[in-house]
Amino acid sequence: MFKGNVVSLHLARNAAMPMESALEVKAIAGLGLEGDRYSLGLGEWSKTPGVGREITLIEIETIEALEREGSITISPGAARRNVVTRGVPLNHLVGREFQVGAVRLRGMRLCEPCAYLESITRRGLIAALAHRGGLRAEIATSGTIRVEDAITE
């Protein structure tokens, strides 16, 4: 059992556009986050079939570890994940449902880093984030997610 929280929220209105921070986002079941590139069908992978594109999460602990290890320093938004968490074992949530504030999510698969992410951030990010790049999830129940919301099973 864990109890974590939302550290920050990020949206991009189109592929390759910078992520914008938000204090709250509206999560829409079966669609994604209101105003985000994937809910609008404008994400880099929107035309490629696949699950887990409604919302993505990454642990702030991973971003902090990259800096500690001396490999890469990036801002939470530069990871291009929608929700930055603290105290949540995201890799363990594949195939499981969990609660983020008022919204129920279903972990679908790990969010491994890709060449596209590395091309718009910095070289070495693929290796640095391997197996700790976050979680792709689907939205089971709609609602609003806010910075500092609790995350629980």
pLDDT digits (tens, 9 = 90+) for 73-103: 889 998 999 999 999 999 999 999 999 999 9
pLDDT tens digit string along 1-19?
899 999 999 999 988 788 9
pLDDT at residue 23 tops 80: yes
pLDDT (average), residues 31-50: 82
What CATH class is the domain 3-152? mainly beta
Range list of H helices, the chain: 60-68, 115-120, 125-129
User: Which residues are paired to 10 by β-bridges?
Assistant: 21
Range list of H helices, 26-137: 60-68, 115-120, 125-129
pLDDT (average), residues 120-129: 79
pLDDT (average), residues 61-66: 94
Nearest alpha carbon to residue 12 among 38, 31, 32: 38
Strand-strand pairing, 55-59 and 83-86: parallel
pLDDT (average), residues 108-128: 81
As given in the structure block, the two tokens for residue 147 are 């910075």
3-class secondary-structure state, position 24: strand
Q: Which residue has the higher pLDDT, 53 or 118?
A: 53
Q: Domain boundaries in the chain?
A: 3-152
